[in-house]
Structure 1
Amino acid sequence: MTLTNRLLISLILLFSLAGCASLPAVQTQIANQAEGRSQVTPTAADPLAQYDANLVETYQPVLAEMKTATRYRIEIEIADSISAIAGYQKVLYSNNEDVPLKEVYFRLFPNNSGSYMTVSDLKVDGEPVQVVLDHRNTAMRVELPDELQPGQSVSICMDFNQTVPSEMGGNYGLYVYLDEILSLDQFFPIIPVYNEEGWNVEDPPINADMLYSDEAFFDVQVSAPSQLVLAGSGVAISSSDQDGRQVVRYAGGPQRDFFLAASPLFLSASRKVGDTKVTSFFLDEYRDGGMLVLESAVHALESYNERFGLYPYTELDLISTPMFAGGMEYSSAVSLSLYYYNPDHNIGNLTFLESVVAHEIAHQWFFNQVMSDQIEEPWLDESLVQYATYLYYVDRYGENNAEGFVDSWYQRWASVKLESIPIGMPAAAYSEDEYGPIVYGRGPLFFAALKEKLGEDELNTLLRTYTDEYRWGIADGQKFKTLAEETCACDLTPLFEEWVY
């Protein structure tokens, strides 16, 4: 990368299952799967066996440790119009807390953009219960007939229906059917984290991402018009044609969510990084952008595999979709703004697109593998990922050229006059003008300051240890601080008070 490119980056980045009705039988044999993938027929004795196909060999033993993780069995039918979805969901939820639970909550995030999702025929262990909605209809409270004791499980079934808007709305416009591209962000009811504060079901703020969930397993069957190219989370473990429609079954987990996109216009290109197939989905007129995304994703995966530990899945999809944001992370999938694939919109679009790819892929470690509360502590998610993106530039182009990305942090922070606003506040505590400059601008500079305090090698060790320690779990700022102090054998309170709190 030339000095001109470094300056260009700097300028561009400134702007920019008992008790419910039985499910129909599903064919589980796999035809023409990617090389080396085994065919699996799940059995009652090994209900998680099908997820081997989703995990690289290094991570397959983790399945034996996650027998009580939540399991989602989802069936959706995408209407011929593409703009309506009918769904059925059966969830096996185990109480992994140390207190009895009187209720279980689900988030209905499509309703954050409008009244798009309805739930009906709700049952707990086969018994009908009332649908009760809270928090502007973005949360559904399921009252349990009996308290669910620690270690006990319950089966929760429901039907859900939704219309998909044809215009981009709230939450960056991620849930939309526009320009023949269907983007299904958080399209099913999902259980949030329960912790010492109770169920995390606050109203979604304007700033910050909404999802806060435990690791889970997703068995998702999609019936869709045959002309659609499907992309998203997990791996396809079976596919068939039924009455002129495609029926594809996906397995994904352990992971935080499940994303699906579809379009008759998608083309794709793939590369392998180790045992992971990386695929870029793009439109024909934006081939250059689609190939840049693929090349950048390969370099990002190689960089982060070395720094933070191996990416856990056999597939990673990067998908061009309409949105107001630059990109959005999901488990084993990334959606990227269609706008930035078009160099005619802005001379720096493709340069910015590369930074978005590196940023969103870093979330496969800091969001998907290590979850934190994105509403209460967005810095531990977004600021850290901004710093990880800098490491991508270091590994690919060298430290001197990577300084252009660091310059963009200062320029973003300068939009609030370099005020020393703490980076560790909840998202709702920032004004709309403050959130981006502080969390994405000042926030990564804290990690640069931490590198100066600890030394580069010690910070690298800390980030790797942090990932290993909390993989598939939940971290918070205090846990990160404690681990950092253990790494350096020093008191980091003054540094955290200067930057974080």
Structure 2
Amino acid sequence: MTRQTAPQPVGCEIPATTGAYGFGVLGATLDVYRGIRPDLHCSVRRCAGSLPLPGAGTVRRITPTEEPVRVPWVVEAVLKIGVGDSVAARPASDHTSGYVRVVGASIEEVERRMREAQRVHRRARRADRRATDRFSARHHPRLPLPTTGVHGVRRLHPLFAVLAVLLTVAAAPPDRAAPPDRAAAADPTRTPGTPSYSVDLRSDATGAHWRGHERIAFSNASPEPLNEVYLRLWDNFRGGCATPSVRVTDLHVGQGAQDRGLQDGGVQDRGAQGTPGATPDRYEVACTALRVPLPRPLPQAASGTVEFDLTVDVPDGIDRFGRDGAFSFVGNALPVLAVRDGTGWHLDPYSELGESFFGLSSDFAVTLDHPTDLLVPATGTAVDTPGEPGRTVTRIGARNVREFAWAAGPFSRIAGRSAGGVRISVYSVTDITPKDAQAMLDLSLRTIDDHAAHYGPYPYGDLATVLDNRFDFAGMEYPAFVLDRVRPSAVIHELAHQWWYGIVGDDQYRAPWLDESFAEYSMAVAMGDTGEGCTARTPWQSADERLTGPMSYWDTHPDRYVPVIYDRGSCALHELRRLIGPDTMTTLLHDYARAHWYGVSTTADFKAAAQAATSVDLTPFWREHRID
């Protein structure tokens, strides 16, 4: 999505905590809106009142936008805060805090959303506590596990979900994309096929700024010719076209054995900031898509290449693409090919609530040249060699993966090998304790083999887990690489994504349930949760809600995303298990994963496979659970 200038708030900007005990601030927020707290006064520069405020030290700034500033503390009994003020803090496990702005079309709508967020949060905490207790008793009774927090992956804290929907009210409409290639609209073949990415990047001293070159080789899998390809520059969502984080320049297109530059119909120098030769109309979807016309139509089975110079600047902000002090997280930064199928080109907008990513299985060969004191956990298997004085060259290979992600920083690292032979490394930021890191490694080693027994062997050999408790999400999945907090349920969920989204792909924007519901169900199975009574706990609240709804719906109804896609979705799979029998369900998921190994799953595919696995007529089941 395009980041628009933040609208003026109905109320005022306040500091707010997130985490297990953050909802006292929501109540205070309502009081500000209602004007019934005369002791609480807020402005853009200052907020006075008895509220939890960000952590120990000196306040550097109070943000005038919705950008959060997070620290892992909760401050007690601070009456005033402003730039330059000092604050006293106390430790509070599993907490973060930040400045947020609540914006809405009406006070009533703000209040309604807050009440719903509170209900969702309470239900999720209860469910997580029950599931964690079951898993602890089953797998490692001596391991102390947290009993608070929302289970699952990339669940925005309910307060941030409120922000997302209310900001959407005031947001400008998305840019109008150029018409997709209509010639192949009726052809269901997914193309470009067999993508292969070769990337060479060199970082600065911080690991937050990378410069280098990328080359993409591909073929046309479709009987219809390819007249163009699209590059997805996902991480430009943050700065948009004005200040892009990912910049492509000196772009060349080749077909067949010979690469062709400008002299033979290629395109070159498509900088997003008006560099010579740029064509602004080629950038679409808030500069997260770049249209690259081919010199001539590419027929079926013919090959092509796109190569360009690449610049990646990791912005401030603790996110899947962002920085936490000396640590950089570089998810979705490499430009990748968009997919064309029977619906045309998939050029969906970026979703901060969930994921928008859709890619075909690809091969990556990535070289990262970086300071030796920085570790670079990444998708794939890595080999380090000495570089220039004080630098290391890390060469990474990954086959049959949909994306490539990495991190850079002075991480602490521990590693182990599962009974099934999977090598797992856990990389921790500074404030993760050795005990927590070891607990997450031990859990990961058991879980990867447990998932493999259910859904097929883990094929990549290596897996990297990066731990940071300041993430405002519980976890984020990439092939053979995950971002997590120290939270067992999140780790189990993320590792399930190695199958549901990674090995068995899906369109995460148009059918998010195919990976999130399946990963949440797989997590529950691993933790011994049978989902008893889950239907009553997850009622539908609107006739418009569908389990198979796209992110375009959930981005405008963020308070319902987790209850439906995670909770109701996993519940539906539990109910299917009860309907067709546990053995049949186990066989169904194992065989379904095998049938779509490195491929793409669709709702229609899963419905057909489930019906073929049982003599029970599943038509009423699909209708009840709104699986279209």
TM-score w.r.t. length of structure 2 = 0.64
Give the counterpart of 2:484 among 332, 336, 339: 336
- Work out the CA distance in 2 between the residues paired with 1:111 and 1:262: 20
Out of 309-318 and 258-267, give the one that drifted further: 258-267
- The 3 A distance-change label for structure 1 pair 226 and 12 is closer
Deviation at 1:257, TM superposition (A): 0.8
Cα deviations by residue, 1:445-474 (Å, 9 ceiling, x for unpaired): 100111121111111111001100000111
> Which structure 2 segments of 5+ residues have no match?
1-128, 136-144, 158-192, 255-259, 271-281
1:290 offset after TM fit, Å? 0.9
User: By how many angstroms is 1:269 displaced?
Assistant: 3.1
- 1:285-306 CA-to-partner distances (Å, cap 9, x unmatched) read 4222211211111121121111
Paired residue for 2:93?
A: none
Q: Among 199, 203, 208, which residue is 1:83 paired with?
A: 208
Q: Is the 8 A contact 1:180 1:265 kept in 2?
A: no
Q: Residue type matched to 1:477 in 2? A: T
Secondary structure of the structure 2 residue equivalent to 1:90: strand
Q: Match of 1:267, as an amino acid?
A: R
1:167 aligns with 2:317: yes
Q: 1:297 to 1:189 in 2, by over 3 A?
A: same
> Which amino acid is the alignment partner of residue 281 of structure 1?
Y
Pair 1:279 & 2:386 matched:
no
What's the secondary structure of 1:218's corresponding residue?
Answer: strand
Would you say the 8 A contact 1:186–1:258 is kept in 2?
Answer: yes
For 2:560 and 2:221, the matched residues in 1 are separated by 37
Give the aligned partner of residue 367 of structure 1. 501
* Structure 2 counterpart SS, 1:147: strand
Structure showing greater relative contact order (alpha-carbon pairs closer than 8 Å, 6 or more residues apart): 1
Letter in 2 for 1:154: G
Whole-angstrom distance in 2 between the partners of 1:406 and 1:227: 50
Q: Deviation of residue 274 (structure 1)?
A: 2.2
**Deviations 1:350-407 (CA, angstroms, capped at 9, x unpaired):** xxx100010000011111111011111111110011100011112xxxxxxx35x768
The residue that corresponds to 2:333 in the other structure is 187
Task: Give, in angstroms, the shift of residue 90 of structure 1.
Answer: 0.7
* Paired AA for residue 582 in structure 2: E
1:376 to 505, 510, 513: 510
Match of 1:158 among 303, 308, 318: 308
* Structure 1 residue 474 corresponds to structure 2 residue 611: no
2:613 alignment partner, SS class? helix
Q: Does 1:245 align with 2:391?
A: yes
Q: Secondary structure at the match of 1:364?
A: coil
Give the residue type in structure 2 aligned to 1:186.
N
Report the Cα distance in structure 1 between the residues aligned to 2:532 and 2:472, rounded to whole angstroms. Answer: 24
**8 A contact 1:409–1:444 mirrored in 2:** no
2:449 equivalent in structure 1: 302
- In the TM superposition, residue 6 of structure 1 has moved relative to its aligned partner by 4.6
CA contact (8 A) 2:131 2:524 kept: no
CA contact (8 A) 1:410 1:441 kept: no
Against the structure 1 CA distance between its residues 243 and 466, is the aligned structure 2 distance closer, same or farther, given a 3 Å change threshold?
Answer: same
Change (3 A) 1:217 1:495: same
What is the aligned partner in structure 1 of residue 356 from structure 2? 210
Match of 1:120 in 2: 249
Write the letter of the residue equivalent to 2:481.
Answer: A
Q: Aligned letter for 1:446? A: A
Q: Is the 8 A contact 1:409 1:441 kept in 2?
A: no
Residue 386 of structure 1 corresponds to which residue in structure 2? 520
Q: CA deviation at 1:240?
A: 2.3
- C-alpha offsets along residues 71-100 of structure 1, whole Å, 9 cap, x if unaligned? 100011111133311121011111112211
Residue 207 to residue 364, structure 1, CA distance change in 2 (3 Å):
same
Distance 1:157 1:361 in 2: 33
- Matches of 2:387 and 2:247 in 1, distance apart? 29
**Native 8 Å contact 2:416 2:423 kept in 1:** yes
Residue 9 of structure 1, CA deviation: 7.8
* Cross-structure match for 1:101: 226
Tell me how far 1:12 sits from its aligned partner.
3.7
Aligned-partner Cα distance in 1 for 2:609–2:461? 30
Describe the shift of the 1:491–1:294 C-alpha distance in structure 2 as closer, same or farther (beyond 3 A).
same
Q: Matched residues in 2 for 1:70 and 1:409: separation? A: 42
Contact 1:13 1:408 in 2 (8 A): no
Q: 1:227 aligns with which of 367, 373, 393?
A: 373
The answer to whether 1:457 aligns with 2:583 is yes
Verify: 1:484 aligned to 2:484, yes or no: no
How far 1:183 sits from its partner (Å)? 0.5
CA distance, structure 2, for counterparts of residue 491 and residue 194 of structure 1? 34
Report the secondary structure of 2:527's partner residue. helix
**In structure 2, do the counterparts of structure 1 residues 177 and 220 end up closer, same or farther at CA, with 3 Å as the change threshold?**
same
More helix by share: 1
* 2:450 counterpart letter in structure 1: S
1:326 to 474, 477, 483: 474
Query: Structure 1 residues 314 and 184 mapped into 2: Cα distance closer, same or farther (>3 Å)?
Result: same
Does the 8 Å contact 2:327/2:409 carry over to 1?
yes
| Cross-structure match for 2:23 | none
Distance in 2 between residues matched to 1:364 and 1:460, nearest whole Å = 18
Is 1:146 aligned to 2:296, yes or no? yes
* SS of corresponding position for 2:387: strand
Among candidates 420, 424, 427, match of residue 551 of structure 2 = 427
Q: 1:10 Cα deviation (Å)?
A: 7.9
Query: 1:3 deviation in Å?
Result: 9.8
C-alpha distance 4-93 of structure 1, shift in aligned 2 (>3 A) = closer
What is the match of residue 57 of structure 1?
A: none
SS in 2 for 1:369: coil
Q: Distance in 1 between matches of 2:214 and 2:612?
A: 44
What percentage of residue pairs aligned between the two structures are identical?
25
In structure 2, distance between residues paired with 1:123 and 1:103: 13
Query: Residue 138 and residue 420 in structure 1: after superposition, are their counterparts in 2 closer, same or farther (change >3 A)?
Result: closer
The amino acid across from 1:294 in the alignment is L
Distance 1:10 1:264 in 2: 30
Q: Which entry has the higher C-alpha Rg, 1 or 2?
A: 2
The alpha-carbon distance between structure 1 residues 161 and 361, as it changes in their structure 2 partners (threshold 3 A), is same
Distance in structure 2 (CA, Å) of the matches to 1:380 and 1:445: 13
**How has the CA–CA distance of structure 1 residues 383 and 283 changed in structure 2, closer, same or farther, with 3 Å as cutoff?**
same
Match of 1:46 in 2: none
**2-structure distance, mates of 1:244, 1:491:** 65
1:489-500 equivalences in 2 (<5 Å): 489-499=615-625, 500=627
Residue 141 to residue 383, structure 1, CA distance change in 2 (3 Å): same
**Contact 1:207/1:428 (CA < 8 Å) preserved in 2?**
no
Residue 156 of structure 1 aligns to a residue whose secondary structure is strand
Shift of 1:195: 1.1
Q: Distance in 2 between matches of 1:389 and 1:372?
A: 19
5+ long unaligned stretches in structure 1 = 17-67, 342-352, 395-401
CA distance in 2 between counterparts of 1:418 and 1:9 reads 34
> Which secondary structure state, in structure 1, belongs to the residue aligned with residue 500 of structure 2?
helix
How many pairs align?
Answer: 423
CA contact 1:205–1:427 (8 Å) conserved in 2: yes
